[in-house]
């Protein structure tokens, strides 16, 4: 069975130090999963230019529109979060990768209502 294609969307502006650390870390982390045949992946940095207030949601929407036909599933990521123990493999419902310390209370029956 062919592994699922993952697109990671990263909204970005003026965080060069974070990006410099993020990209090599993610490449190393995801290459391990790719080598095990569990996924293929791409990282998309969606950069906001100009001086207007940073609009993370708009950048993620733009990234989704650009990648939705290229990937089987999408991960919305931040440039300042580096995974230590996160599972990026495909699941058939919305899933949080960051959960440590959170009480998860998603109701998947009306998640998108």
pLDDT digits (tens, 9 = 90+) for 7-41: 999 999 999 999 999 999 999 999 988 888 888 99
Q: Among the residues of the chain, which ranges form H helices?
A: 16-35, 56-67
Question: pTM higher than 0.95, yes or no?
Answer: no
> Which one, of 94, 89, 90, 98, lies nearest residue 112 by Cα?
94
pLDDT digits (tens, 9 = 90+) for 45-59: 999 999 999 999 999
């Amino acid at each position: 069975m062919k592994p699922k294609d993952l697109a990671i969307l990263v909204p970005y502006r003026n965080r060069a130090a974070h990006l410099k650390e993020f990209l090599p870390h993610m490449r190393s982390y995801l290459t391990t999963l790719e080598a095990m045949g569990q996924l293929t992946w791409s990282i998309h940095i969606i950069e906001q230019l100009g001086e207007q207030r940073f609009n993370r949601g708009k950048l993620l929407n733009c990234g989704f529109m650009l990648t939705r036909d290229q990937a089987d599933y999408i991960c919305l990521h931040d440039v300042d979060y580096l995974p230590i123990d996160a599972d990026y493999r495909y699941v058939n419902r919305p899933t949080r990768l960051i959960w440590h310390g959170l009480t998860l209370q998603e109701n998947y029956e009306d998640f998108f209502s």
